[in-house]
Amino acid sequence: MRELLAGVGAAALVILLYYESSLIPLIFLGALFLVLLRFTGLKAPPVNTVGRVARVKEISFNQIGGQEVAKKELLEALDFVIKPQQISHMGIRPLKGVMLVGPPGTGKTLLARAAAGYTGSSFISVAGSEFIEMYAGVGAQRVRQLFQRCRKKAQKERRNSAILFIDEIDILGGKRGRHSSHLEYDQTLNQLLVEMDGLGGGGDDLHLLVIGATNRPEALDEALLRPGRFDRIVQVDLPDLEGREQILKLHLHNKPLVEGISLEKIARETFGFSGAHLESLANEAAILALREERKTIAEKHLLEAVDKVILGEKLERKPDPEELWRIAVHESGHALVSEALKPGSVSQVTITPRGKALGYVRHRPERDYYLYTVEHLEEKIAVLLGGAVSEQLVLGSRSTGSLSDFNQAVEIAKKIIAAGLSGLGVVSVKELPGALLHRTIQQLVGAREKWVAELLSSKIELIEEVARLVLEKEKITGEILRRQISAHRQAC
């Protein structure tokens, strides 16, 4: 808005000047323009404000849990920095850039900081978004100045090498030509390419290594990834079971834990968590223990913290008894389908409203999966449908509580089709006529719904028993659920 106002003011001034209008409106407009400038704070942006100058605490690779492959690849690249004689003897060209690619919170920034510590380099960290301004040329100038600052900082600290870490590099290094409104993005990226091409040449005593980080590698301009620039791409994925346990250990080491807690058990409950999620889990568990005025963190605090990290804070709002009964029936349905398909798979059933969820069943993956068979995906759809089918069978109607389950079921069905696992065979989902795609999704989901209805129609009593238990306790563990199932079996 302020840009628009300033632009209109300036244009009016120019037009009036051009037509040699009387001086009074001119003075008036000039004053108005100055006032606009004053109150909108519009002034040329500073060019050298990029980069965190605050001293970052040095960390070592030992303080990063899991990520063994990423660490190994990065360390190998860093040896190029600390053994310059060896690489020049072998005629290897110096490494200029390393690109860390992976989901948010997996430790890319930590790896870059550890890289600086390992190589004894000076370190500057910036974010791609700090470069982009509406003013053409500012971003490019900032890039130029940033490289100069890196050199000066290393000189001042008497270091032979410097690491420049650019987080969210996709903002600064996105594919050129995408932004048609102005060339600012392209100019900024061009300047980065120029600076990188200049590294390692002209008798530069300093080895400057640029480490980029992104979670959208597909958005990067190809020129950035071409050999001689970001030569090495290091994948920083979500941690596996072992990695999660290590990260938990790291973040809990300074917190008082009850003796004998199995962190492996907690790690099993946290499939899909990033390092940042795990750090938050450790913190939340400590807060929960403190709230209960405990001196040590118990397993129940850690497990509750898992829920909190997945779903958010417990909500004060309380559904009325009728709604609560429906929620309990719904969640029991999910849980019973899951146990029927994979005994031991439910970790917890709860009707405590958290975040957007009114109730929740936490499943326990017995291992980390890297690929899924069609049977596995169909089972997931069945578990998702268990809530709605259960409501239908016990209460005679369904509710909007199943909306998110249905959305997820449709997404899984789409995945089955895209992976060539449906009756359509190998197809391009993009080219598929909408009606055919819709029909195939309906068939896939419909077949599972029929199966779940058959399964649960013989378990109506059990659904009610479990729902009553959940309603009474608010939360039951998988063990209690399984005890109820076997008690019911014996009673029949």
Residue 382 touches ligand ATP, criterion: CB under 6 A = no
Residue 220 touches ligand ATP, criterion: CB under 6 A = no
The span of 107-115, 255-263, 329-337, 407-415 binding ligand ATP (CB under 6 A) equals 107-115
CA distance 299 to 67: 26
Element (H, E) at 274: none
For residue 284, the one-letter residue type is E
Nearest CB to ligand ATP, comparing residues 181 and 254 = 254
Tell me the pairing of strands 97-101 and 207-214: parallel
CA distance 447 to 378: 9
Nearest CB to ligand ATP, comparing residues 67 and 390 = 67
> Can you list the alpha helix ranges (DSSP code H) found in 41-137?
68-82, 84-89, 108-119
Cα 250–Cα 254–Cα 255 angle in degrees, nearest 5: 105
Q: How many residues bind ligand ATP (CB under 6 A)?
A: 19
Minimum distance, C-beta of residue 102 to ligand ATP, in the bound complex (Å):
6
Nearest CB to ligand ATP, comparing residues 87 and 276 = 276
Q: Of 184, 331, 339, 449, which one is the catalytic site residue? A: 331
Comparing CA positions, the residue from 336, 357, 324, 348 lying closest to residue 471 is 324
Name 476's bridge partners: 349
Q: Give the length of the chain.
A: 492
CA distance 238 to 65: 11
Site string for ligand ATP, 339-358 (x = CB under 6 A): --------------------
Residue 96 touches ligand ATP, criterion: CB under 6 A = no
Residue 64 touches ligand ATP, criterion: CB under 6 A = yes
Nearest CB to ligand ATP, comparing residues 308 and 330 = 308
Site string for ligand ATP, 163-202 (x = CB under 6 A): ----x-----------------------------------
Nearest CB to ligand ATP, comparing residues 67 and 440 = 67
Minimum distance, C-beta of residue 112 to ligand ATP, in the bound complex (Å):
8
Residue 247 touches ligand ATP, criterion: CB under 6 A = yes
Nearest CB to ligand ATP, comparing residues 67 and 188 = 67
The span of 26-34, 104-112, 363-371, 415-423 binding ligand ATP (CB under 6 A) equals 104-112
Residue in 29, 78, 109, 388 binding ligand ATP, rule: CB under 6 A:
109
Residue 107 touches ligand ATP, criterion: CB under 6 A = yes
Site string for ligand ATP, 133-162 (x = CB under 6 A): ------------------------------
Nearest CB to ligand ATP, comparing residues 107 and 173 = 107
Structure tokens at 14: 């120019």
Contact 273, 244 (CB under 8 A): yes
SS3 content of the chain, % helix, strand, coil (to 5): 55, 10, 30
Q: Rg of the chain over CA atoms, in angstroms? A: 29
Residue 250 touches ligand ATP, criterion: CB under 6 A = yes
Residue in 9, 50, 51, 67 binding ligand ATP, rule: CB under 6 A:
67
Residue 275 touches ligand ATP, criterion: CB under 6 A = yes
Minimum distance, C-beta of residue 365 to ligand ATP, in the bound complex (Å):
20
Structure tokens at 423: 């009756």
Structure tokens at 243: 């990695």
Residue in 169, 171, 213, 266 binding ligand ATP, rule: CB under 6 A:
213
Distances (CA, A) of 345 to 201, 239, 366: 59, 21, 8
Residue 99 touches ligand ATP, criterion: CB under 6 A = no
Residue 279 touches ligand ATP, criterion: CB under 6 A = yes
Active-site residue 391, yes or no?
no
Residue 270 touches ligand ATP, criterion: CB under 6 A = no
Residues belonging to the active site: 331
Residues that bind ligand ATP (CB under 6 A): 64-67, 104-110, 167, 213, 215, 247, 250, 275-276, 279
